[in-house]
Structure 1
Amino acid sequence: MPHIDVGNDAPGIIGLMRFRPETADPLNDLADALLRAPGPLSRGERELIASYVSHGNGCAFCTGGHSEVAARELEGGMPAVRRVLDDHDFSGFPEKIGALLTIAGLVRRGGKEVTEESVAAARKAGATDVEIHDTVLIAAAFCMYNRYVDGLAAPLSTDPSSFGQMADHVVAHGYAKGPGARRA
């Protein structure tokens, strides 16, 4: 049961954004900047980081949505995403991605958990300072998104295909034009 009445039946963050539309645009713009804008990490890799952090935080809505987007953007699809989430098995991805996912997991536990050694390991695996920066920022932002969704007990959709439909829309249009955005 949701902690507050948001006045709509939309699941997860979508319902919260419809409740407070003045916050939807900045949150969607941030998601687009972090996950969709041009950058050194692919869209799929960035979505995988978001999904990995969300899964570690136990946020079913964000895990489901970002896993579906990552699966559409990554070679190996959902089986590759599930290996990372369920087994912490980074094989099939470049060593750099495993090192960055390790950093993302540390950020999820707490920013001060990131160590000189974890950063050195990422650099040794080929990660640039920009990729390390972006990983930390994605992980930190998704801790916020996860806590927003779960802190208000936003409901999940009862339609099993809803995450796939949301992912199709994100891949085609991004987050700023998504179902929770005011400027859709």
Structure 2
Amino acid sequence: MAHIDLGLDEKQFPGIIGLMRYRPETAKPLNQLAEVLLRTPNSLPPGDRELIAAYVSGLNECEFCCASHSAFAAVQLEPGMALVDQVRADVDSAPVSAKLRALLHIAGAVQKSGRNVTTEMVEAARAEGATDVEIHDTVLIAAAFCMFNRYVDGLGSLPAQDPQDYFRAAERIVESGYTD
């Protein structure tokens, strides 16, 4: 049960979904941020951006966000959940591009502290073809998901009971986005 009374059935509205229904005035800008970071046209594909969100959420041990964004990444990446699981288990041996691996290293550093991102990490990402926009967005995705994870876990919201709920939500997100 959440730490506060959300006035709804938390099993029907797990994780951030219930929190956003509780405070729609804060939900709107949070969903707009997620839409821009994870879905708007960008040289980094949406599946890769969702993978960064899932990776950071996993590092933060946020069950709801990690499961959600793992599903959202899986439905948008050719290898699906197998790739997501490999990245979450060991970024260095996962079958991703060198550029994405470098960006995931940056995201992992941000998860610990923004100050853990080094010039060497940024230069390594650039050397693998990452643009400044991709580096910027990776840092912002990682920072935003630290916030989202703390929001969900700080209010004690429950994860979904049925793992398939995450994949049903993924289909909606891919089709309609975060703001619809």
Conservation of the 8 A alpha-carbon contact between 1:83 and 1:89? no
Q: Deviations over 1:18-46 (max 9, x none)?
A: 10111111111110000010011000000
Give the Å deviation of 1:125. 1.2
Alignment partner of 1:152 is 2:121? no
TM-score scaled by length of structure 1: 0.93
Alignment partner of 1:75 is 2:78? yes
Give the Å deviation of 1:5. 1.0
Q: Deviations over 1:10-69 (max 9, x none)?
A: 100000001011111111111000001001100000000000000000001000110001
Question: Hey, what does 1:3 align to over in structure 2?
Answer: 3
Q: Distance in 2 between matches of 1:116 and 1:14?
A: 37
Question: Hey, what does 1:139 align to over in structure 2?
Answer: 142
Question: Hey, what does 1:42 align to over in structure 2?
Answer: 45
Identity of aligned residues (%): 58
Give the Å deviation of 1:160. 2.5
CA RMSD between the two structures:
1.0
Alignment partner of 1:127 is 2:143? no
Give the Å deviation of 1:86. 1.9
3-state DSSP of counterpart to 1:37: coil
* Contiguous gaps of at least 5 residues in structure 1: 178-184
* Contiguous gaps of at least 5 residues in structure 2: none
3-state DSSP of counterpart to 2:75: helix
TM-score scaled by length of structure 2: 0.95
Give the Å deviation of 1:88. 2.6
